[in-house]
Amino acid sequence: MSAVSVKNVSIAYAGKRAVNGVSFELCGGDYLAIVGENGSGKSTLVRGIIGLLPLESGSVIFSGGKKETGYLPQQTKVRQDFPASVGEVVLSGRAACLGVSPFFSKEDKRIANLYMDRLGIAGFKGRPYSGLSGGEQRRVLLARAFCAARDLLVLDEPTAGLDSVIAAEFYRLLREFREYTRATVIMVSHDVDAAIANAGKILHIESGVKFFGTSEEYVASGLSEGFSGCRHG
C-alpha cells in the first residue's frame, strides 16, 4: 500500500529531457530526500510529481487520489510590488481547506500563527512580504507550505538562504510535524549530510535514478562521497 507510486517518469523541460525513467515508491509518512548535482533534474522531478509539469511518459499515482500538497518552490515569480502582508501569505496556505466558507476558522489562524512563531516570523505578520530579505521570505513560504500540507509536503531546497540556527529549527519543526500529521514528505536538498541525518529514504538522481533506498543503505553505498566538493551549508 504505497502512498505515492512513481513509475518510469520522464519529463522534458526547456526542450531537453531533464528527468529520465525515474521510478520509486513511498509509503504514507515516509520522508524522502532527493539529492543530486545542480541540473540533475531534482526540481523538475518534484514539479512533475505534483502536477506542475506535464509528464512526457510514465505515471504518478497517489493512493486515494490527488493529495493536498504543501509546496515550497525553489523560486517564486512573485512581483516585487505585490501588495501582500506576511500574515496574508502564510494564511493563504489554509485557503484550500476553506471549501465555500469565505472566512478562515480559529483553527486555521492558530495553525498559521504556530508556524510563523516557530519559524521566527511572527513579528513580521503585518509587514509587506516584498519588503523582507530573501531568507525571511523563504521562512514565510515555508510556513505557508506547512499550513497547506495535509497529506504531502514537498520542499524544494528548504534550507537555502537560511542561517544555521533557523535551519536547525526547521528540521526540528519538520520532525514534530511528521509525528503529528503522518504526512509524507519529499524534500529536494543540496545538503547531503542533513539529508542523510534527517530523511528516512534517499533518492539520488542524475536525470535517471542513481540510488533509491534508506539513508543507511545510501551511506553504505558510498555514493554520498562524491558530493563533498559541492556541499552547501
Partner 1 sequence: MPADLARASAGAVMAETLKLIFSHAFIIRALAAGALISLCAALLGVSLVLKRYSMIGDGLAHVAFGALSLALVTGAAPLAVSIPVVIAAAFGLLRLSENSRIKGDAAIALISSLALAAGIIAASLKKGMNIDVYSYMFGSILAVSPADVRLSALLAAAVLTLFILFYHKIFSVTFDEDFASAAGMGVRAYNSLLALLTAVTIVIGMRIMGTLLISSLIVFPAVSAMRVCRSFRSAAVTAAVISLVCFFCGVLVSFILSIPTGASIVVINAAAFAAAFVVGKFV
The answer to the question of residue 52 lying near partner 1 (CB under 8 A) is yes
Report the b/e string of 19-36 with b at 16+ CB within 10 A.
bbebebebeeebbbbbbb
In the complex with partner 1, the residue whose CB is nearer, 183 or 209, is 183
Contact by Cβ (8 Å): 152, 67: yes
62 Cβ neighbours under 8 A, 6+ residues apart: 3, 4, 5, 151, 152
Q: DSSP character for 10?
A: E
Work out which of 23, 92, 113, 221 binds partner 1, going by CB under 8 A: 92
- For residue 23, the minimal CB distance to partner 1 (Å) is 22
Work out which of 39, 51, 123, 135 binds partner 1, going by CB under 8 A: 51
The answer to the question of residue 55 lying near partner 1 (CB under 8 A) is no
The answer to the question of residue 107 lying near partner 1 (CB under 8 A) is no
The answer to the question of residue 171 lying near partner 1 (CB under 8 A) is no
In the complex with partner 1, the residue whose CB is nearer, 69 or 207, is 69
149 Cβ neighbours under 8 A, 6+ residues apart: 68, 69, 70, 177, 181, 183
The answer to the question of residue 16 lying near partner 1 (CB under 8 A) is no
Output the CA angle 113-114-116, nearest 5 degrees: 65
The answer to the question of residue 85 lying near partner 1 (CB under 8 A) is yes
In the complex with partner 1, the residue whose CB is nearer, 73 or 161, is 73
Work out which of 116, 145, 205, 209 binds partner 1, going by CB under 8 A: 145
Contact by Cβ (8 Å): 177, 196: no
- For residue 220, the minimal CB distance to partner 1 (Å) is 34
The answer to the question of residue 123 lying near partner 1 (CB under 8 A) is no
- For residue 133, the minimal CB distance to partner 1 (Å) is 16
Work out which of 15, 16, 54, 79 binds partner 1, going by CB under 8 A: 79
Distance, in Å, from the CA atom of 2 to the CA atom of 64, rounded to the nearest integer, reads 10
Alpha-helix runs per DSSP H in the chain: 42-49, 86-91, 106-118, 134-148, 164-181, 192-198, 215-221
List residues binding partner 1 (CB under 8 A).
Answer: 47, 50-52, 66-71, 73, 76-79, 81-85, 88-89, 91-96, 98, 100, 102, 104, 126-128, 141, 144-145, 148, 154
